[in-house]
Homo-oligomer: A and B are copies of this chain.
């Protein structure tokens, strides 16, 4: 913003053009198709479901109409939340005055923000701004150690639960609220809390009203795993100092790219169609998501939640649907999982996420005598080795006949992450429509929640 103010003329002239750091995802699906030994989708198979694909696109388009009231409201967040950015920015500015920020939330209330947060910090946390701690799990030792190390007077709390009553999040909140209150008293403790929850219902919303605690809404039609582009993801990321406007812009641009019902032009529809056909026609029942970059590890986790919880369910006819998403990390898992990928059952398909370049690369220095031992390392950088590893793994997986696709990011920034998020939210909804399941619900999970309460009521330790 500072730079803009200094050069108003230049800014105005450049505004309509693409910012230099903003590029499109490169999506290469060639190895998902039959040919060159790959057990992939025949173009005839794709043509055979053309009407089904158009139907899925129609359903998604119809379900997206109506802004935040739409069935697929999550796809409208890029537009709708742009208007909310000033409010989010004000909350973030207040929270940034603290040294440490605890983000309470589990599953969809945590994974999206964490995935973007890590993606935008290659190597390590950036200097400046508060330290964010995503609690997520309720492991007692972890929570105890955290509060032992932090100072209540320098700590803020962001508590996130769509329903306002998620058991894990509620108990974390109760413990941390008391921890703040004991040191600071109730009033000062309240001023260090921000709640993100349903605008009208639930325990957290009632608490916000009763105790006058700052609260931001999760749009009612946006479920946890689709909520990263709402305040659920945007507030923690704004607190971290990330470019949430670029995140929304990237998502909107991907949405525009996916506006057509032509499967060859709409990458989200193509990804859904190929994975669906590889499952039902080819028995490819496991989807390995394998980024070749440490900072994208949690993106794979976010994707695995989105895909598993949206598609892993019974169809109306009672048949089990969905493929199993599994995360991996290149190059590490070449030394762990690759043997099995290549030779165990041919029931897997792969998505690689690669980077076109590294921010900070390192030359590989060889002593004179070592140039003969490692001639292939002469004048190479560490990024060249990472790149060779990725291309080698993709080559042997392709040679072994396993379908695979690659998404390449020019660089790790908020704009690219926004595109990735919209791409996979959209692909997941299309896939749900193809399977004939509701991609937005999670009926089976409720049983476990009730059961956990029952065990607690029965006072049961083992």
Interface residues of A (CB under 8 A from B): 106-108, 111, 122-124, 136-146, 149, 167-168, 170-171, 174-175, 177-178, 203, 224-225, 285-286, 293-295, 301, 304-305, 308-309, 311-314, 320-322, 324, 326, 329, 331-332, 334-348, 356, 358-366, 370, 373-377, 380-389, 391-393, 395-396, 399-400, 442-445, 447-449, 451-457, 460-462
* Residues of B contacting A365 in the complex (Cβ-Cβ under 8 angstroms): 174-175, 177-178
Contact B312 A339 (CB under 8 A): yes
9 A-B pairs, CB-CB below 8 angstroms? A123-B146, A138-B382, A139-B295, A141-B295, A167-B385, A308-B340, A312-B344, A380-B456, A384-B456
Alpha-carbon separation in the docked complex, A361 to B321 (Å): 40
Q: Are B385 and A168 within 8 A (Cβ)?
A: yes
Contact A460 B343 (CB under 8 A): no
Contact status A335-B140, CB under 8 Å? no
A248 to chain B, nearest CB (A): 24
Decide: A143 and B175 in contact? CB cutoff 8 A: no
Q: Report the bound CA distance from A360 to B148 in whole Å.
A: 11
Top 3 closest A-B pairs, CB basis? A312-B340, A107-B335, A123-B145
Contact of A445 with B335 in the complex, beta carbons under 8 Å? yes
Cβ contact of A142, chosen from B122, B174, B343, B452, cutoff 8 A: B122
Partner of A360, one of B141, B308, B456, B461: B141
Closest Cβ neighbor of A178 among chain B residues = B365
Tell me the nearest residue of chain B to A393, going by C-beta: B448
Q: Specify the main secondary structure of chain A where it touches its partner.
A: helix
The residue of chain B having its C-beta at the shortest distance from the C-beta of A125 within the complex is B145
B324 touches A286 (CB 8 A): yes
As for how many copies of this chain the complex holds, the number is 2
A400 (CB) vs chain B CBs: closest residue: B444
Q: State whether A386 touches B308 (Cβ < 8 A).
A: no
**Which B residues lie within 8 Å of A343 (CB)?**
312-314, 320, 443-444
Count chain B CB atoms within 10 A of each CB in A108, A346, A377 and give the residue with the most.
A377
Given the complex of chains A and B, what is the CA–CA distance between A444 and B347 in angstroms? 17
Please give, as numbers and ranges, the residues of chain B lying within 8 Å of A384 by CB-CB distance.
Answer: 456, 461
| CB–CB B456/A332 < 8 A | no
Contacts beyond the supplied A286-B324, A342-B447, A392-B452: 8 A-B pairs with Cβ under 8 Å = A122-B142, A137-B331, A203-B373, A314-B343, A338-B445, A385-B452, A388-B456, A391-B455
Partner of A345, one of B177, B285, B452: B285
Collect the chain B residues with CB atoms within 8 Å of residue A138's CB: 331, 382, 385-386, 389
CB-based contact B462/A387 at 8 Å: yes
Residues of B within 8 A of A334 (CB): 107, 445, 448
Nearest Cβ on chain B to A319's Cβ, whole angstroms: 9
- With a cutoff of 8 Å between Cβ atoms, the chain B residues found around residue A388 in the complex are 452-453, 455-456, 460
Residues on B with beta carbons closer than 8 Å to the beta carbon of A399: 447
Closest to A453 in B: B376
In the complex, A378 Cα to B400 Cα: how many Å?
Answer: 57
